[in-house]
Amino acid sequence: MSTNASLFDRAQRVIPGGVNSPVRAFRAVGGTPRFIARAEGAYLFDAEGRRYIDYIGSWGPMILGHGHPAVLDAVERAVRQGLSFGAPTEREIELAEEILKLVPSMEQVRLVSSGTEAAMSAIRLARGHTGRAKLVKFEGCYHGHADALLVKAGSGLATFGNPTSAGVPPEVVQHTLVLEYNNLEQLEEAFARHGQDIACVMIEPIAGNMNFVRAEPAFVRRLRELCTEHGALLVFDEVMTGFRVGLESAQGLYARLLPGFRPDLSVFGKVIGGGMPLAAFGGPREVMEKLAPVGPVYQAGTLSGNPVATACGLATLKEIQRPGFFESLGARTRSLVDGLLDVAREAGVPMSGDSEGGMFGFFFTGRLPRHYGEVMATDKERFSRFFHAMLDRGVYLAPALYEAGFVSAAHTEADIQATLEAAREALRAR
**Rg over CA atoms, the chain:** 21
Start-to-end Cα distance in the chain: 32
pLDDT band at 155 (very low <50, low <70, confident <90, very high): very low
Any bridge partners for residue 53, and if so which? 43, 395
Tell whether the model's pLDDT for residue 158 goes beyond 70: no
SS3 call for 3: coil
Range with lowest mean pLDDT among 102-111, 152-161, 222-231, 333-342 = 152-161
Q: Which of 270, 354, 372, 402 is catalytic?
A: 270
- Indicate the SS3 state at residue 106: coil
Looking at per-residue pLDDT, the higher value among 341 and 151 belongs to 341
Candidates 46, 52, 55, 237; catalytic one: 237
Confidence of residue 157 (pLDDT cuts 50, 70, 90): very low
What local confidence, expressed as pLDDT, does residue 160 receive?
55
- Residue 71: pLDDT over 50: yes
Q: Which of 167, 165, 174, 181 is nearest to 220 (CA)?
A: 181
φ, ψ at 91 (rounded to 5°): -65, -30
Per mean pLDDT, which range of 163-172, 236-245, 358-367, 377-386 is the poorest?
A: 163-172
pLDDT at residue number 359: 98
- 3-state percent breakdown (helix, strand, coil) of the chain, nearest 5: 45, 20, 40
**Is 142 labeled as catalytic in the residue annotation?**
yes
- Widest pairwise Cα distance in the chain: 63
Q: List, in order of start, the domains of the chain with CATH numbers.
A: 4-63+323-428 (3.90.1150.10), 69-319 (3.40.640.10)
- Decide if 254 is catalytic: no
Residue 198, CA distances (Å) to 138, 158, 188, 313 in order: 14, 13, 13, 34
CB-hemisphere CA count at 13 Å for 417? 3
Is pTM, for the whole model, over 0.75?
Answer: yes
Distances (CA, A) of 40 to 68, 74, 220, 372: 8, 17, 38, 34
Give the pLDDT confidence of 322-352 residue by residue, as tens digits.
999 999 999 999 999 999 999 999 999 999 9
Mean of all residue pLDDT scores within the chain: 95
Distance (Å, whole) CA 34 – CA 109: 37
pLDDT bin (cut points 50, 70, 90) of residue 43 is very high
pLDDT, tens only, 294-308: 999 999 999 999 999
Cα→Cα distances 259→124, 217, 384, Å: 29, 11, 41
Distant-in-sequence contacts of 193-197, Cβ < 8 A, 24+ apart = 193/158, 194/134, 194/158, 195/226, 195/229, 195/230, 195/232, 196/132, 196/230, 196/231, 197/132, 197/133, 197/134
Range name among 82-86, 155-159, 233-237, 364-368 with the lowest pLDDT average: 155-159
- Give the span between the Cα atoms of 362 and 358, in whole angstroms: 14
Q: What is the DSSP letter of 161?
A: P
Contacts of 120 (CB under 8 A, 6+ apart): 144, 146, 148, 149
The whole-number average pLDDT for the span 141-146 is 92
Instruction: Decide if pLDDT at 144 tops 80.
Output: yes
Q: If pLDDT is split at 50, 70 and 90, which confidence band does 178 have? A: very high
Beta strands in 42-107 (DSSP E): 43-46, 51-54
Sign of CA dihedral 243, 246, 247, 251: negative
Closest CA to 364 of 346, 399, 340, 331: 340
Catalytic residue selected from 55, 142, 254, 372: 142
Could you read off the pLDDT of 213-247 as tens digits, one per residue?
A: 999 999 999 999 999 999 999 999 999 999 999 99
Helix (H, G, I), strand (E, B) or coil at 430: coil
- Does 39 have pLDDT greater than 80? yes
Taking the CA atoms of 42, 24, 361 and 137 in sequence, report the sign of the dihedral they define: negative
Asked if the bond preceding 16 is cis, omega within 30° of 0, the reply is no
> In the sheet where 352-356 sits, what is the strand order?
352-356, 359-363, 405-406
Looking at residue 156, its pLDDT comes to 43
Per this entry, what is the length of the chain? 430
Rounded to 10°, the helix 69-81/307-319 angle is 160
Phi, psi of 398 (to 5 degrees): -60, 135
Report yes or no: 103 and 249 within 8 Å, Cβ to Cβ: yes
Which residues partner with 396 through β-bridges? 54
79: amino acid identity, one letter: V
pLDDT band at 170 (very low <50, low <70, confident <90, very high): confident
Q: Indicate if the pLDDT at residue 14 is higher than 50.
A: yes
Q: Are 238 and 268 in contact (CB under 8 A)?
A: yes
